[in-house]
Amino acid sequence: MIALLQRVRRASVEVDEQQVGAIGPGLLVLLGVEATDNLQSMQKLADKVLKYRLFNDENGKMNLNVQQHGGSLLVVSQFTLAADTNSGLRPSFTPAALPEVAEPLYQAFVAYCAGQGIAVATGQFGADMQVSLVNDGPVTFWLQV
C-alpha cells in the first residue's frame, strides 16, 4: 500500500464539477492499493500516516504529526501510484489491486483514520476526480508498506 502525502494549507476534490471533499490545513493523502495488500498493511500504513511528523513545532522543526498540528486528512484513491514504470514508456498497472479488492481497503483506511479521532474527507473511489491543493512548503513524502 502506498500513500503520497502532501502537507497542505487546503485541498479539495471535485467529481463532475461538484465538490465531494475538502479540508483546510492538513494532509492530502493520495492512496494506492496494490494487489498484495490486506487489512494488516492498511493498518500499518494508516498508523504511519497518522504518526508521521511533518508539521513544524514552535522551533520550526518537523516534529508534529497531523493530529498534533490540528489538521485533517483528504484521502483520494489513486491506483496509478501502484504502476510499474520500470520498463518501456507506458506504465503497467499489474501491481495495482482490482477495484473489488482496492475499494474495501480504501474504505477501511478512511474508517480507521476517522476512528483515531481525526477529521477525514474523501474523494470518490473510481471516479474521474479533479484535485486542487495548496501545498505547504512544499512538503511531499512517499510512504509504502
Query: What amino acid positions are annotated as catalytic residues?
Result: 78-80
- Distance, in Å, from the CA atom of 36 to the CA atom of 57, rounded to the nearest integer, reads 36
Nearest alpha carbon to residue 105 among 129, 82, 77, 73: 77
Distance of CA 83 to the CA centre of its chain: 16
- Asked if 26 and 74 count as a contact pair (C-beta separation under 8 A), the reply is yes
Does a cis peptide bond (omega within 30 degrees of 0) precede residue 25? no
- Distance, in Å, from the CA atom of 89 to the CA atom of 72, rounded to the nearest integer, reads 36
